[in-house]
Amino acid sequence: MASLELQVRDFDLEQIFECGQCFRWDRREDGSYLGVAGQSLAKMSMAQESGFLKIELLRSGDGEDENFWKKYLDLDRDYGKIKEELCRKDEKIREAVEFGSGIRILSQDPFEMVISFIISQNSNIPRIKKCINSISEKYGKKIGDYEGRTYYAFPTPNALAKATEAELMDLKLGYRAAYIVKTVSIILGNMDNFDRIESMEYEEAKEFLLRLSGIGPKVADCILLFGLRHFHAFPIDVWVKRIMHEAYGFEEKDLKGMQDFAKEKFGENAGLAQQYLFYYIRGNS
């Protein structure tokens, strides 16, 4: 079994995996995290020597080498500098940054993000995780067994195209089943565009996403931030509404005001600011 040791800064496994950006990692009793990324199954823990992350590659997908994990964990970005800039903005964001100072934005697969965040609407994290695991088990490629459990990769668009609405309803996706069937069909019909979505500008990518079924402004911004690395995307969910009301006095309906404010105040790092604020309000209420 291969393993990697990577030097990390501004890095906290719990904060990264519990800040709501991903649904495929589970905390173990010893504080390590076990999960699937791409076609790989891995276990992550902090090495005794502080500042080193240990990644045990329990099953490794083709080409998913050290560079894959560096990109996945966004290790080449200087979060220290970004945090410093954000902290200068005001007292509230400074508190939030200090509270979640080890958060990093993962670089996840765009298609997986599309489906995962359609599922996330009007739901909660345990249920979202269960639905994503069910979909992966039924339509994804088997990765391997570990400690008595079988792990599967998230399905490709072609594999998920085999799913019917009734089958997805059986997996307890509820009314989101119809959205997924329609969205997968639209994506497969526009594969040329979807293939180049990672190189699109924010506005073009968002416009494309909003044409899919079951994707509104909030879900689109989650996909843009967590799957397409648009760091200024500022997803506004109920928690962000809450903290924008408490910290900055916005009416909860005033989404446009919040977006403009975030763009103006946090600029190109609005998405990371959103994660700090989100993690802070969830951890303090």
Binding site for DNA (CB under 7 A): 19-21, 120-127, 130, 169, 172-176, 179, 213-220, 222, 235, 237-239, 253, 278
What is the helix, strand, coil percentage profile of the chain, to 5?
50, 15, 35
Nearer to DNA, 58 or 173 (CB): 173
Q: How far is the CB of 226 from DNA (least distance, A)?
A: 7
Q: How far is the CB of 65 from DNA (least distance, A)?
A: 28
Nearer to DNA, 110 or 235 (CB): 235
Residues 6+ apart with CB under 8 A from 103: 12, 15, 16, 19, 272, 275, 276, 279
DSSP 8-state assignment for residue 235:
-
Q: How far is the CB of 194 from DNA (least distance, A)?
A: 17
Nearer to DNA, 157 or 257 (CB): 257
Nearer to DNA, 157 or 217 (CB): 217
Q: How far is the CB of 48 from DNA (least distance, A)?
A: 30
CA-nearest of 269, 264, 282 to 79 is 269
Q: How far is the CB of 156 from DNA (least distance, A)?
A: 22
Beta-carbon count within 10 A of 195 CB: 11
Long-range own/partner contacts, residues 167-173 (CB < 8 A, 24 or more apart): 167/138, 168/135, 171/131, 171/134, 171/135, 171/138, 172/127, 172/130, 172/131, 172/134, 173/119, 173/131, 173/135
Q: What single-letter amino acid sits at 76?
A: D
- Residue 208's φ and ψ, nearest 5 degrees, are -60, -45
Nearer to DNA, 92 or 130 (CB): 130
